[in-house]
């Protein structure tokens, strides 16, 4: 079996783009899914070597059990890509406790615990790689999607800390921070055409660029603890609201 990559939230959208890229590059792809098992199985059938696992990341113990089961089966599990996230609205006026609880669990706590379990339990022929999906909002914050952004800020802190914690320097921890890349939340495609160009290059960032960056990081060429921004320069701007709303003139 080829070397394995485990991608959370890989049944659709960005996760599916990553799964196809890794599969095409010769990896065995473990496609994690929660809500879209049919789409995940259809995707797995397209790839040369793939399988599907299902788990709700709100349940941290179930997620750790999933990691242990995969680690026990695979002889060369080299990469964990924590891509799955929830993106629900609240704002700077008042945190929604339910939105925050879900965001901090799914977007920060559970993927961090999964990374720690992967690093401790997985067998790999070479150094292991963890790729934590972040957001350009880290450097270009605004008060929209307040709990989501708080959780991503917390998650971003784990990249450097986990990198420092590795006794085996062959293991490397990375962050990957995309910008507006696909229609999100309740956007129409025409709104995304506008919001997706709200970056320094005034261009739509192709999701394939994100997949190419993930493949690069999977090879471990960059120093551990680094974060790549794949957003056509959006993180270098100062946008007062999420581009979803800027595109609507709000």
Instruction: Assess if residue 170 is contained within a domain.
Output: yes
Residues 6+ apart with CB under 8 A from 19: 7, 10, 29, 31, 43, 47, 50
Q: How far apart are CA 191 and CA 212, in angstroms?
A: 26
| Residue 120 to residue 84: CA distance in whole angstroms | 21
Residue 140: inside a domain: yes
- Domain presence at residue 245: no
pLDDT in tens, 60-104: 999 999 999 999 999 999 999 999 999 999 999 999 999 999 999
Q: For 144, how many CA atoms within 13 A lie in the half-sphere containing its CB?
A: 13
Residue 198 located in a structural domain: no
Write out the residue range of the structural domain in which residue 12 sits: 4-183+204-231
Q: Is 114 inside any structural domain?
A: yes
The overall pTM is greater than 0.75:
yes
Determine contact, residues 174/224, Cβ cutoff 8 Å: yes
How far separated are the first and last CA of the chain, in Å rounded?
A: 51
Residue 240 lies in a domain: no
Would residue 102 count as lying in a domain? Answer: yes
pLDDT at 79: 98
Res 35 pLDDT > 90 = no
DSSP secondary structure code for residue 138 in this structure: G
* Domains held by the chain: number: 1
Q: Indicate whether 189 belongs to any domain.
A: no
Rounded to 5 degrees, what angle do the CA atoms 75, 208, 12 make?
Answer: 70
pLDDT at 250: 65
For residue 198, the model assigns a pLDDT of 96
pLDDT digits 0-9 by tens, 213-244: 999 999 999 999 999 999 999 999 999 999 99
CATH of the domain at 82: 3.40.50.720
């Amino acid at each position: 079996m080829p070397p394995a990559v485990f991608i959370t939230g890989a049944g659709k959208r960005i996760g599916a783009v990553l799964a196809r890229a890794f599969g095409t590059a010769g990896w065995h792809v473990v496609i994690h899914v929660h809500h879209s098992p049919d789409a995940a199985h259809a995707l797995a059938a397209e790839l040369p070597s793939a399988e599907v696992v299902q788990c709700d990341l709100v349940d941290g113990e179930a997620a750790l059990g999933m990691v242990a089961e995969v680690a026990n089966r695979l002889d060369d599990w080299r990469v964990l890509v924590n891509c799955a996230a929830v993106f629900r609205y609240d704002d700077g006026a008042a945190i929604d406790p339910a939105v925050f609880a879900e965001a901090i669990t799914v977007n920060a706590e559970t993927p961090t615990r999964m990374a720690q379990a992967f690093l401790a339990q997985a067998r790999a022929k070479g150094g292991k790689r963890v790729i934590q999906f972040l957001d350009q909002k880290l450097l270009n914050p605004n008060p929209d999607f307040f709990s989501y952004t708080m959780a991503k800020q917390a998650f971003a802190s784990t990249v450097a800390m986990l990198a420092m914690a590795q006794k085996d320097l062959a293991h490397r921890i990375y962050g990957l921070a995309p910008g507006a890349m696909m229609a999100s939340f309740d956007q129409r495609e025409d709104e995304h055409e506008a919001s997706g160009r709200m970056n320094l290059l005034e261009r739509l960032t192709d999701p394939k660029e994100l997949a190419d960056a993930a493949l690069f990081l999977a090879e471990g060429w960059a120093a551990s603890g680094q974060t790549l921004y794949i957003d056509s320069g959006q993180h270098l701007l100062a946008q007062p609201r999420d581009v979803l709303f800027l595109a609507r003139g709000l």
